[in-house]
Structure 1
């Protein structure tokens, strides 16, 4: 009996130990697994924090880079960037005046409206240095009627820089402007050549009102069967005609004869370039890859009749065959201007093609600040 009890207690002890061990093992296993799970969660959290932190760092770096690019873009604001597409429309002011008349502002405004997708550059000799976009905006604030146009840019006219790397630089370094009788016009004649050579695009005199886009890239404006004008022309960058014209400008220089360095230069070079003795006035013709636009395109009113622009017309002309109108300001020794309420042809042109300038004049607002 005792022996049986002994065996029973031994078996009970073994079962108890086994149960305890089993319970103990389960608890330890649970703790270990919890530890592993907690560790995994913790590592994931740290990883997430590191990723988020890295993303924050990347965001900060991107912001810094973006700001640097903005600063860089502002610092790199220059003529080359703006004219990089070689499709600019250029105007010149070769005097020091900073209060150009209404006709000049109308010419620039009309171009900005007609060529809304192209840069309009107004070079002014009296303008201070433009080193940034902010400088240019400040300069443009002096001309309220032009301020709203995002495609208009003002730049100082620096002839020595413009003439660099052209045949005109040596001439410019030797010339004495004080002894030149037509320096304002002669310097403008040379400058437009150098600008078109370097950047391509279209040059226009500041008394030309744009009324519709010129449909060709390379063109000359025929004034009569005997003459070509240099008041408006367009050529691609580094065109051979431009270089030949600059060479002729220097080789045959005669600043004492008005027009010799301008329309007469274009006429003699163009006739040689095209191997022709006179121009067609009945329609547009081709000379190599240059279109010679007939007089109706820019000169439907010829220079002897320039006063017609300042007269009242019973029936207004449509100018359906014209791209722009040259108002012959050089001939205007009487200093006639557009007068609001006059019902003259020029008033109608202002109303239609430069309404901002016209509105300022109508309400007696200043066009210069």
Structure 2
């Protein structure tokens, strides 16, 4: 049977085909083994493996992780994926929002900022030079903000007040201020020239870096952070008192020099947090310069308070620990922050009974004796209605000069 199958022409062709296929398979299998041995040897020699080579061809992507550090709880950190080289990761250019770009524009008002400020203070015999900032539209400058201006002049009638604001430096702004200016009070709104105001200070380089995209402005509105820096630069260049527009003034400020207020203290009376809602400093004061240095060095546009109240706390605490002379007085909370932001609602509520009325009378006496003013904490209190008989209503009645009664 074997001989018959061997000499058959058809069977001979089939045998030849099978033999050839087996021969080809042996060649391919042998070549695969040799290739794998070569790759394995190459990996041992160069410290990599075939899997690593495949991973370098994966699509690049940026991963976001949340830091466990308490200082960074409010924002994430961008990290490259494990196998991506520096050449693959391209950091996006920091771009300012359209509304931010307008902050860097100069106008005929801003170009004259320095001369206008010096002329305003020079032509008036200002017992105290007050500054405020206003970054919102004029229509948001309401009765409460106007009453704060009234309280300044009711307690400091011989003083001057400059509102650093491009929106209030307008026809609409002058109409808002007219009830005060027509009564002879010295108040004006001037558009700040950031470039001139920050010149020859640590803020100058920071401003240039922000404009050129070399620093990240962050998610917090840039104007809000600029307000923290503008107040420092104004005090450093001209000297005087800075007040937030939600601070009711209860006393004359002429006796204060180089002063900052504690927002909170510990059981031993040592301050635990300062605040920058009220600042009193001489011209060219070195501590204000250090505040600006800290702002430029540690700026973070994603963390609320980091560039403002927390900043002054950091700097003063650091200098106090090194034993460096501060030439500055820290006043207790009763001076500027007699009520904490968590309890400010109680100042807007009328008394419900005789005990509540007695408490309000006692609080009014305490404020009159010991407080230079009351911070209203507008972020919390702007939604509260001022009730008749409340502490705030009493303060308005006692410290108004126009006394419209609309607040």
Name the TM-score, length of structure 1 as normaliser: 0.66
Deviations 1:19-59 (A, max 9, x none): xxxxxxxxxxxxxxxxxxxxxxxxxxxxxxxxxxxxxxxxx
Partner of 1:9: none
* Structure 1 position 354, deviation (Å): 1.9
Check conservation: 1:209, 1:325, Cα contact below 8 A. yes
- Structure 2 unmatched runs, 5+: 1-113, 265-270, 352-356
Name the TM-score, length of structure 2 as normaliser: 0.60
- Structure 1 unmatched runs, 5+: 1-75, 130-134, 278-286, 363-369
Matches within 5 A, 1:33-44: none
1:326 paired to 2:375? yes
Partner of 1:270: 316
Check conservation: 2:138, 2:173, Cα contact below 8 A. no
* Structure 1 position 298, deviation (Å): 1.2
Matched length: 268
CA distance in 2, matches of 1:98, 1:78: 24
1:354 paired to 2:354? no
1:244 paired to 2:284? no
1:114 paired to 2:155? yes
CA distance in 2, matches of 1:226, 1:83: 36
Q: Which among 160, 169, 173 is matched to residue 204 of structure 2? A: 169
CA distance in 1, matches of 2:138, 2:210: 22
Check conservation: 2:150, 2:400, Cα contact below 8 A. yes
RMSD between superposed Cα atoms in Å: 2.7
Following TM superposition, where does structure 1 have runs of at least 4 consecutive aligned residues deviating by more than 6 angstroms? none
* Structure 1 position 175, deviation (Å): 2.2
Partner of 1:209: 248
1:192 paired to 2:231? yes
Q: CA, structure 1 residues 175+92, in 2 after alignment: closer, same or farther (shift >3 Å)? A: same
* Structure 1 position 180, deviation (Å): 3.3
Q: CA, structure 1 residues 142+105, in 2 after alignment: closer, same or farther (shift >3 Å)? A: closer
Check conservation: 1:112, 1:149, Cα contact below 8 A. no
- Per mean C-alpha deviation after superposition, the further-off stretch among 152-161 and 184-193 is 152-161
CA distance in 1, matches of 2:290, 2:340: 28
- Which structure has more relative contact order (CA 8 Å, sep 6+)? It is 1
Larger Rg: 1
Q: CA, structure 1 residues 302+141, in 2 after alignment: closer, same or farther (shift >3 Å)? A: same
